[in-house]
Structure 1
Amino acid sequence: MISGLFGTGTVTNTLRGGLDEASATHRTIAERVARGLGRSAAADFSGALDASMANMDEELTRNMAALADTQLRYEATARLLQKSYSDLRTAIRDRG
Structure 2
Amino acid sequence: MLFGLIDRVTSAPQLKASLDQSIERSRGIADRVSKATLQNGDGFALEATVGRTQAEVNPVNVEDEMVALADEQLRFLATSRLLEKTYASLRTAIRGQGA
Q: Same fold (TM over 0.5)?
A: yes
Unaligned ranges ≥5, structure 2: 40-55
Partner residue, 1:16: 16
AA aligned to 1:37 is T
What's the CA shift string for 1:16-68, capped at 9, x where partnerless? 000000000001001111111223xxxxxxxxxxxx8xx75xx0000000011
- Which residues in structure 2 correspond to 1:34-49 (within 5 Å)? 34-39=34-39
Q: TM-score, normalised by structure 1?
A: 0.72
More helix by percentage: 1
AA aligned to 2:68 is A
Instruction: Report which structure shows greater RCO (CA 8 Å, sep ≥6).
Output: 1
Q: TM-score, normalised by structure 2?
A: 0.70
Unaligned ranges ≥5, structure 1: 40-51
CA shift, 1:10, in A, is: 4.7
- Measured in 1, the distance between the counterparts of 2:26 and 2:71 equals 9
Identity of aligned residues (%): 38
Ranges of 4+ aligned residues in structure 1 off by more than 6 Å: none
Candidates 86, 89, 93, aligned match of 2:95: 93
User: RMSD value over aligned CA atoms?
Assistant: 2.4
